[in-house]
C-alpha cells in the first residue's frame, strides 16, 4: 500500500463529551478534532448526535485504542469490521492507533503494552500492518506508546525500531512527544535522541499531553497540563521540521474548556514563527 503524508491542516483537539455543548455554542478556533474510534462503533446516541453536528463544521480524524496490532493472537476481524464501518460513517481525514499490544490469547490488558524491539517483532508487525491496511483499504498511522518496562530480549532502541519499520513499510507515525518524555524519564535516555532519529517524512501527526510525576517515575495519565519540558521538546521539534498536524490530548481531570484552548494557542505560538519561516523558504 502506498503511503502519502496526510495534508497539513493545523492544530487540533481531542473531542471529549464534556466539551460537546461548548464547541457547538462557541465554535472555537480549532482546526480539527480527533475522536476515539471505539466510542463511535455504535451508531446513534449522544456521541453521534453531537459528532454529526461538529463534523459539519470541523475536519475529523480517528484515533483507536484497541487494535492491539502487535499481538501474536489472530487478527480480530470482527473489530476491524466495526472500525471499517465507523470509518465509512465518519469519513475521517486519517486514522491512527498505537504501536503496541493489549491482548494475548484470552488476556486483555487495560494498558497499551510496548513490544520487544527485535527483528522478530519487526517482521511480525510488518505482516500485521499489511493485513490490517488491506482490510481497511487505507493507511494506518501508528503512535509510539509510553512505557514503564523494557525487555531483555530487545535488540535495538525504540527509535531504531520505528525508523526500521518506516524503512520497510513506509508506515507513518503519530509522534506523541509526551510519551517520548515519559519513557525517557522512566528509562533514562535523552528524548532528543529519539526525536532526532525519526525520519521527518514519516511523522504525520503530533500529540501533546500531560502526565503525573511521582519523582522516581512518571505515569502517562493525560490528566495534567503539559509540562515545560514537553513544551521545550515541541519547540525544538518545530525549529527543525516542516509543519506537522499537532493536537492537545486530555483524557481525565478535565479543566474548563478555555484552559484547553489556551494550551492549543501556546502550541500555535511556539510553532508559528518556525513554521512560517519554513512556508516562505
Q: In this structure, is residue 278 part of a structural domain? A: no
What confidence score (pLDDT) does residue 110 get?
A: 78
The answer on pLDDT for 4 being more than 80 is no
Q: At what angle do helices 228-240 and 177-187 cross, to 10 degrees?
A: 120
Tell me the three cell numbers of residue 9.
Answer: 491542516
What confidence score (pLDDT) does residue 103 get?
A: 81
Q: Name the band, by pLDDT with cuts 50, 70 and 90, for residue 257.
A: very high
What confidence score (pLDDT) does residue 104 get?
A: 78
Q: In this structure, is residue 268 part of a structural domain? A: no
Spatial CA neighbour of 196 closest among 159, 231, 242: 159
The answer on pLDDT for 79 being more than 60 is yes
Q: Name the band, by pLDDT with cuts 50, 70 and 90, for residue 279.
A: low
Model-level pTM?
0.95
Q: What is the DSSP letter of 153?
A: T
Q: Name the band, by pLDDT with cuts 50, 70 and 90, for residue 132.
A: very high
pLDDT mean over 246-274: 95
Q: In this structure, is residue 116 part of a structural domain? A: yes
The answer on pLDDT for 75 being more than 70 is yes
Q: In this structure, is residue 141 part of a structural domain? A: yes
pLDDT mean over 168-177: 96
Question: Total structural domains in the chain?
Answer: 1
Measured between alpha carbons, how far is residue 87 from residues 77, 118, 136, 150, 247 in Å? Answer: 15, 32, 9, 34, 20
Domain that holds residue 100: 11-256
For a pLDDT cut of 70, what percent of the chain falls above it? 97
Q: In this structure, is residue 279 part of a structural domain? A: no
Q: How far apart are CA 275 and CA 239, in angstroms?
A: 8
Q: In this structure, is residue 250 part of a structural domain? A: yes
Residues 120-129 have pLDDT tens digits of 999 999 999 9
For a pLDDT cut of 90, what percent of the chain falls above it? 86
Q: In this structure, is residue 225 part of a structural domain? A: yes
Q: In this structure, is residue 76 part of a structural domain? A: yes
Domain of 76: which CATH number?
3.20.20.150
Q: How far apart are CA 281 and CA 268, in angstroms?
A: 19
What confidence score (pLDDT) does residue 56 get?
A: 97
Amino acid at each position: 500500500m502506498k503511503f502519502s503524508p496526510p495534508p497539513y491542516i493545523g492544530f487540533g483537539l481531542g473531542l471529549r463529551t464534556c466539551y460537546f455543548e461548548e464547541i457547538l455554542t462557541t465554535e472555537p478556533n480549532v482546526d480539527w478534532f480527533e475522536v476515539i474510534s471505539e466510542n463511535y462503533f455504535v451508531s446513534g446516541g449522544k456521541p453521534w448526535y453531537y459528532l454529526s453536528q461538529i463534523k459539519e463544521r470541523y475536519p475529523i480524524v480517528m484515533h483507536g485504542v484497541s487494535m492491539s496490532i502487535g499481538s501474536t493472537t489472530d487478527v480480530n476481524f470482527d473489530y476491524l469490521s466495526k472500525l471499517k464501518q465507523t470509518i465509512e460513517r465518519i469519513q475521517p481525514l486519517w486514522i491512527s492507533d498505537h504501536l503496541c499490544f493489549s491482548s494475548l490469547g484470552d488476556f486483555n490488558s487495560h494498558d497499551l503494552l510496548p513490544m520487544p524491539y527485535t527483528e522478530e517483532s519487526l517482521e511480525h508487525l510488518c505482516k500485521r500492518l499489511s493485513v490490517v491496511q488491506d482490510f481497511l483499504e487505507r493507511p494506518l498511522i501508528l503512535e509510539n506508546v509510553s512505557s514503564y518496562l523494557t525487555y531483555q530480549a530487545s535488540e535495538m532502541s525504540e527509535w531504531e525500531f520505528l525508523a526500521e519499520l518506516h524503512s520497510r513499510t513506509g508506515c507513518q507515525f503519530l509522534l506523541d512527544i509526551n510519551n517520548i518524555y515519559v519513557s525517557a524519564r522512566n528509562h533514562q535516555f535523552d528524548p532528543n535522541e529519539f526525536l532526532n532519529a525519526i525520519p521527518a517524512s514519516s511523522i504525520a501527526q503530533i500529540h501533546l499531553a500531560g502526565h503525573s510525576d511521582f519523582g522516581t517515575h512518571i505515569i502517562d495519565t493525560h490528566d495534567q497540563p503539559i509540562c515545560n519540558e514537553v513544551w521545550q521538546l515541541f519547540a525544538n521539534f518545530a525549529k527543525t521540521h516542516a509543519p506537522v498536524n499537532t493536537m492537545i490530548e486530555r483524557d481525565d481531570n478535565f479543566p474548563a474548556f478555555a484552559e484547553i484552548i489556551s494550551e492549543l494557542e501556546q502550541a500555535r505560538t511556539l510553532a508559528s514563527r518556525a513554521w512560517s519561516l519554513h512556508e516562505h523558504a
